[in-house]
A and B are shown apart, each in its own frame.
Chain A
Amino acid sequence: MSGLRRRAGQWAIQFTLLVLAFITFVPLVTLLSLSVKDIYQFNVAPMGITFPMHFDNYALAWKFMAEPIWHNVVIAGVATLASLTMASISAFVFARFRFPGRDLLFFAIVILLFIPNTVLLVPTYQIIIRFGLLNTLWALILPYCAIQALAIVVLRTFFVEMPDELFDAAVVDGASVLQQFAHVGVPLAKPVIGAMAIFQVWLIWNDYAWPSLVANAPQARTAALALIVFNDFTLPVPGAGMAAGVLAALPMLVLFFATMRTFIAGLTAGAVKG
C-alpha cells in the first residue's frame, strides 16, 4: 500500500517537474524556432516549427553580432583575468600575513559588497567622460576590473584554511610572498578561482544598463546591446533579429557545457552576493 502510494507520489513529482520545465523552456525554444523563419512564416505561424528552415538568418545576424560578441570576449576576458589576479593576490596577503592595519583594510573591502553598482552609475559615468573613455572598451573593462570584493572574501577564507605545513618547505627555501602565492597557493585554489572567474564572466555578459550608457556606439557595443539595437533600429528580417538573440547567448552556453561543475559552483557562490 505504502509502496503504491510512494510510486504514485513519484509520478506526480515527475509530472509537475515536466510541466514546470515545459513552461520554462517555451520562450527559449520559441526563440530558436523563430530564428529560422522567413518573414512570412514569422507572421503566419510564429509558434511551432515551420519548414523550410531559413538558416541564412544566421548569416545576416552574424554580420551584425560578430564584432559585439568579440567585444564581449575581450572585455570579459581582460577584466576577469585582471580582477582575479589582483583579488587573489590581495586575498593571499590578507590570509597568510600579519601587518598593521590588516583587519581595517579587509573591512574596507567587505564594505564594498554592500555598495550596489546602480548607485555608482552617475559618478562613474562622469569619470568615464572626464577621462575621454566614452564609447571605448576601457569604459567597460576598467569598472569591471574593480569587481573584486566577493572574490577576495571567498578566496581569503580558502587561503586561511590552508594548513601552514604546506608553506613550510617554501618558506625554508626562502620563497618570496609572490612565489609562495604562485607555487603553493594558486595550484590548490584553482577550483575556487575558476568558479569565481566564471561568475565574473557571467556577470559581465549579463550587464545591460552600464554598457548602454557608456558603450552605445559600434566600436564598443556589447552583444546584449547590439541585440536590442539590431532589433529596434536596423529592422532586419524579424527572424534574423531572433537569430541574433541566439548568437548572443551561445558563448555562455558553450562555456556552461564545457565547465558545468565549476559553472554551477561559481553561480552558487556568486548568488549569495546577488
Chain B
Amino acid sequence: MRRYGLFYLLLLPTFLFAFAFYYYPLASGIFHSFTYWDIKRTVWVGLDNYTRLFASPATLAAWRNMALIVVSQVIVVLTLPLLGAALVHHVRRGQYWWRVAFVLPIVVPATVVVFVWRWFYGIDGGINYMLRLIGLDQLTRAWLGDPATALWAIIFVGFPWVAGLNFLIYLAALQSIPEEILDAARVDGATALRTFFQIELPIIRPQMSLLVTLTVIYFLRSFDAPLIMTNGGPGTTGTLVPGLQMYRAIRDELDLGYGSAIGTVLFGVLLAVSLANLAIRRRLEDAQ
C-alpha cells in the first residue's frame, strides 16, 4: 500500500478541488432543490419548488424562448460556419489571412461583443441610424425593448456567425481529408460543388453532429446575452431563458432552493441530451 500512497497523494489536489466545486455542489444542489434555502436556513419542503416551477408561466416562456434559440443556433451551426470553412478551404490566394480573419473575432471577449451589439440595437444605435440614413424611419424601433424583436435580436448577435470555434473545427476537418480522395473525384470530372456535397460533406458528418450536440448543450444553459442585453425583458419573460431564471432566483430573491430546482431540471435535461447523443452516435457507428 505504501508503494501506491504517493500516487494517491499526487492526485489529491485535483480531487479536493473536484470535490469542493463539482461533486459537492452537484449533490448539494439536487438535495437543496427539495428545500427552502437561503443563506441562513434550510427547511425541507418536498416538491414545493418543483410544483411552483412547473406551475409558473415564466417557466413555460423561458423554455419556449430557449427552444427557439437552440433551434435557430442549430440551423446556424450547420450552415454559415460550414460555408465559411469550405470557402477558406478552397480559396487559393491568401488562405492563411482569411483563416486569421475568421479566428480573430473569437479572441474578443463575448461580453465586449454583446456590449457592442447592445449599442447597435439601441434607440440611437447603429441599426436605427442606418435605417434613418436610407429613409426607412418607419422601421426604426427599440429592438431590445420591443417584444416582437427582442428575442430575435439576441439570436442575431454575432451575425453572420462565420467567425468562431465552429469555423475552426469545420476547417480542421476539411483540411484533414486526404488529397487522393479529392484527386480521384477530379479525374472523374466532378465539379467543385459536386465534390463538396458528395465527398467532403459526408466525410465531415461526424464533426457536424458533434457541433450540433455542443450547440444544443451550450444554448440550453447559456444566458450571458439576455443577462447583459435585456435582463430577460421586455416584460417579465420577453427574453427569459431557464439559466437566467435560475440566476435571478438567486440574485434578486436569494431563493437558493428555487434556483437549485431550476438547476436540477437543467442538469437532468442536459444529461439526457448527452446520453441520447452518445446512444445515437454508437448506433451510427454500429450501422457503418
Q: Which A residues contact B (CB, under 8 angstroms)?
A: 9-10, 13-14, 16-17, 20-21, 23-25, 27-28, 30-31, 34, 43, 46-47, 83, 86-87, 89-90, 93-94, 97, 99-100, 102, 105, 108-109, 112, 114-116, 118-127, 129-130, 142-143, 145-146, 148-149, 152, 177-178, 202, 205-206, 208-209, 212-213, 223-225, 227-228, 231, 242, 245, 248-249, 252-253, 255-256, 260, 263-264, 267-268, 270-272, 274
Measured CB to CB, the nearest residue on chain A to B21 is A146
- List the B side residues contacting A20 at CB < 8 Å: 80, 83-84, 87, 102, 160, 162
- List the B side residues contacting A123 at CB < 8 Å: 24-26, 28-29, 32, 256, 260
- List the B side residues contacting A23 at CB < 8 Å: 159-160
Identify 7 residue pairs between A and B in the complex whose beta-carbon atoms are under 8 Å apart, listed by A's number: A17-B91, A28-B108, A87-B14, A119-B26, A152-B14, A227-B112, A249-B108
Measured CB to CB, the nearest residue on chain A to B33 is A122
Given A112-B18, A123-B29, A148-B17, A24:B91 Cβ within 8 A: no
Per-residue CB contact flags for chain B residues 218-240 toward chain A (1 = under 8 Å, else 0) read: 10011110011000000000000
- List the B side residues contacting A202 at CB < 8 Å: 107
B263, A121: Cβ atoms closer than 8 Å: yes
Of A100, A108, A249, the residue contacting B109 (CB under 8 A) is A249
Q: Shortest distance in angstroms between A58's beta carbon and chain B's nearest beta carbon?
A: 15
- List the B side residues contacting A90 at CB < 8 Å: 10-11, 13-14
| 8 extra A-B contacts, CB within 8 A, seeds A27-B116, A116-B217 | A17-B88, A24-B102, A24-B160, A120-B21, A122-B29, A146-B20, A252-B109, A253-B107
- List the B side residues contacting A142 at CB < 8 Å: 17, 20-21
A208, B224: Cβ atoms closer than 8 Å: yes
Given A28-B108, A248-B111, A268:B26 Cβ within 8 A: no
Task: Flag whether B282 is at the interface (Cβ < 8 A).
Answer: no
Q: Shortest distance in angstroms between A67's beta carbon and chain B's nearest beta carbon?
A: 17
Q: Which of B233-272 contact A (CB under 8 A)?
A: 243, 246-247, 249-251, 256, 259-260, 263-264, 266-267, 270-271
Q: Shortest distance in angstroms between A228's beta carbon and chain B's nearest beta carbon?
A: 6
- Chain B interface size, as a band, is 35 or more
Measured CB to CB, the nearest residue on chain A to B27 is A123
Describe B's contact surface by its main secondary structure: helix
Q: Shortest distance in angstroms between A159's beta carbon and chain B's nearest beta carbon?
A: 13
- List the B side residues contacting A224 at CB < 8 Å: 109, 111-112
A122, B14: Cβ atoms closer than 8 Å: no
